[in-house]
Amino acid sequence: MDSTTALRSEERVNEAVKQELKRKYSDMDNVAFVIDAVSRHDRALLGLAAVNALSSSVSRFVPVFMPKLVIDQLTQGGAPSTVLAIITLLSIVLFVSTGIDQTSRNWLNNRFIVVRLRMIAESGIKFMTMDFQNLEDPKVLDLSQKGDRACNNNSDGIEGVMHRLLSLFGGFVVLAGTSTVITMLHPLLLVAIVLLLVINFCASSSARRLDKKIDDDLAKVRRRSNYISRIMSDFAYGKDIRLFGMRDFLLSRYGIEQEQLMEGNRKIERVWFQSKGVLAVTGLAQEVIMYLWLCVQVVYRGMSIGDFTMYSMAIRTFSGALDRIFDDISRIRQQNAVISDFRSFLDYPDWPSGTRSLPGALREEDLCFELENVSFRYPGREEYALRNVSLRIEPGERLAVVGLNGAGKSTFVKLLTRLYRPTEGRILLNGVDVQEHDRREYYRLFSVVFQDIQMFAFTVAENVSMRSYELTDEVRVQESLERAGLGPKIKALPKGLRTPVLKVIDEGGAEFSGGEGQKLALARALYKDGPVVILDEPTAALDAIAEAQLYQQFDGLIGDRTAIYISHRLASTRFCDRVIVFEDGRIIETGTHDELMERGGRYAELFALQAKYYSEEVTTA
């Protein structure tokens, strides 16, 4: 694939991404999505929901007919025993149906939460498996933040729609029964009530649409506000905040974001105030129409007190059920946008993983990488981070990648490890484009230590193996820690390999210094035992002598594996077979250290400049 073809492929993917961002899911689409989620994660929920809806409907029907039956018996001279029997029977029915309703509702609420938590896990899986470079795209981050609202709480998003669908089912059962009763009185009365409730529905729907629009506009504001709030209380930023006097600056920025949030909330309050005014007017109109109609029936048509009571209760129950149905539909439509954001994030297109399997017994001497005219630019940027890089990495080669900060060294590593994909050009493994290989299999080739070393609040052993303790080989972990120089530290811990790291989860967690954290990361790379080892400036905080010693020490531990050492200190990697020099995203020189020094080019110039700042020991390390 030449660079032009690759660029066109990139453009097609970008266009697909844009279309995906614009994609709209219909209400029925999202309802089907929620029902499918329920059936996938808890099939018994659907049957339990049906039981709850029926029991809820019965408990709402009994109060409609009970007063009529009792009043008719009393006004028509019925025996007290008959009246007592009616009251007792209907009370038992009401008690049983209400009990089933409440019990099944509690079960449903707990199981709804489980489904929502499993949907959160699906979002987490997407984050952990989607193209890494998408995680640096502001569009993806905004979409993710908006989508998070689909699983934030019990009343909105996916779980909110589950509750509303349950309510809808029961509401339609009640509606069918009460509308039959009201139609017996007069169909026009039913029509009048429906029209008033339709007005309510339209007002509520309009308010919710405006609410969602305003809330969407506030997504970026919330992200900025949360960021500032986090760094104000983050220990990692504490030194800079104090020494550079950033308190007032951060408080000012935080205040600006909070004011925008408050203004947005005020707009939402005004929208709902107007909507509630409409609801109050239509509610009053319904009461007036109902009582006037019924009073006319009593005075001029001889309606009995029992019928008056039944019809008034039926109208109220019908009105409540229809209003609730409209409210449920409106809220489902409101949540449609939230669930659409969530689904858009889950469906966000990734570059195809590839299906070609790597050979099962692949050894380090079998691996040959080649970059053909590779260029890369970050999402949303026009300038290139790498430009026209061509390079062949031989099996078992020790390659030093050097250059000043920002020259493109780390970008090169992320492209080679397939965390990024080239904007132009291609990367080959044994003559095959790496994009054709299964991504997860390809990742297994690399043992990488990045410059931003991360420790997890799990046990020491799990931090080395990056697996659960049950799947961890303790002997290999101990050997890796010993080889990385961290054996004495771990042996001194009360729980040894089972000691938690950090104090985030366990107060008894062990704290590691910067140098110890680097050794832990080196042990992690040794444990993985990948055929290609990469050190991407993990020792940037060390002095030049310590860095050079650590690189050479680690080089002696990895055997015949292919190794790539990244550094902006040119003296640290003199022991390597070959040195390539990056500047402004391009390879400007390549050769051994001695060859480059003899050539007297940019490498020699930079080496001489750096040498001024170190002692003779540093320059000969």
| Residues paired with 564 in a beta bridge | 399, 534
As assigned by CATH, the class of the 24-346 domain is mainly alpha
Across the range 50-63, mean pLDDT stands at: 83
First to last CA, the chain: 43
455-529 maps to CATH 3.40.50.720: no
The per-residue pLDDT for range 296-342, each reduced to its tens digit, is: 778 877 788 888 888 788 877 877 777 788 778 878 887 888 888 88
DSSP output for 387-450: EEEEEEE-TT-EEEEE-STTSSHHHHHHHHTTSS--SEEEEEETTEEGGGB-HHHHHTTEEEE-
Across the range 169-183, mean pLDDT stands at: 79
Nearest in space to 117 (alpha carbons), one of 182, 72, 162, 69:
162
β-pair type (432-433, 424-429)? antiparallel
Nearest in space to 523 (alpha carbons), one of 566, 512, 575, 129:
512
Question: Is the pLDDT reported for residue 3 higher than 80?
Answer: no
Between CA 528 and CA 466 the distance in angstroms is 9
Question: Is the pLDDT reported for residue 17 higher than 70?
Answer: no
Across the range 77-82, mean pLDDT stands at: 80
Between CA 20 and CA 265 the distance in angstroms is 29
For position 294, what pLDDT does the model report? 77
The proportion of the chain whose per-residue pLDDT surpasses 70, expressed as a percent, equals: 91
Between CA 255 and CA 340 the distance in angstroms is 31
Neighbouring residues of 240: CB distance < 8 A, sequence distance ≥ 6:
246
Across the range 486-502, mean pLDDT stands at: 89
Using left for φ > 0, alpha for ψ between -120 and 50, and beta otherwise, residue 396 falls in left
Helices (H) and strands (E) in the chain, counts: 21, 10
Return the number of other C-beta atoms located less than 10 Å from residue 509's C-beta: 18
Question: Is the pLDDT reported for residue 615 higher than 50?
Answer: no
Between CA 436 and CA 240 the distance in angstroms is 45
For position 393, what pLDDT does the model report? 93
Question: Is the pLDDT reported for residue 21 higher than 60?
Answer: no
The per-residue pLDDT for range 84-107, each reduced to its tens digit, is: 888 888 889 889 988 988 888 888
DSSP output for 502-533: SSSS-TTPBP--HHHHHHHHHHHHHHHT-SEE
Neighbouring residues of 620: CB distance < 8 A, sequence distance ≥ 6:
none
Q: Locate 471 and state its tokens.
A: 């799947």
The per-residue pLDDT for range 207-264, each reduced to its tens digit, is: 777 877 787 778 778 888 888 888 888 877 877 787 778 888 888 888 888 888 888 8
Mean pLDDT, the chain, whole residue set: 82
Could you state, in order of their start, the residue ranges of all structural domains in the chain?
24-346, 455-529
Q: What does the DSSP 8-state code read for residue 561?
A: S
Neighbouring residues of 389: CB distance < 8 A, sequence distance ≥ 6:
371, 373, 374, 375, 408, 412, 425, 585, 586, 587
Question: Is the pLDDT reported for residue 130 higher than 80?
Answer: yes
